[in-house]
Amino acid sequence: METKNIYDAIVPPSGAGGAILELARIDIKEGTNQKFEAALEIAKGVISQSKGFQSITIKKSIEQSNRYILLIYWETLEDHTVGFRESELFKEWRALIGPFFLEAPLVQHYT
């Protein structure tokens, strides 16, 4: 199924109930897309081990080739902001994809 706009992409996974959506906008350094996407595939395996993690969807911008959004569903806000962000898994996640960041990601949470 092709996503026509961002609102189509933010439908929670089935069974997610009152899940929290983390939307992260990431701009990467020009010319690093292939390496970033390869690192992101590995990083998905890391984040999926975190308590409360439900799913992740990654979308690449059409207009700005170095921009991505990550739509990550968590059981609770604290599963992301405390459980994951304060864990060894986060350090591993960030070590994999952080070197590609142009600037710090913009992260917001939605109900």
Written out in words, the top-level CATH class of the domain with range 50-102 is alpha beta
pTM of the entire structure? 0.84
The residue ranges of every structural domain in the chain are 50-102
Which residue shows structure tokens 């690192």? Answer: 39
Sheet holding 106-110, edge to edge: 53-60, 67-74, 20-27, 106-110
Task: Determine the pLDDT at residue 18.
Answer: 73
Task: Determine the pLDDT at residue 17.
Answer: 60
* Per-residue pLDDT reduced to its tens digit, 51-110: 999 999 999 999 999 999 999 999 999 999 999 999 999 999 999 999 999 999 999 999
- How would residue 49 be classed by pLDDT, with cut points 50, 70 and 90? very high
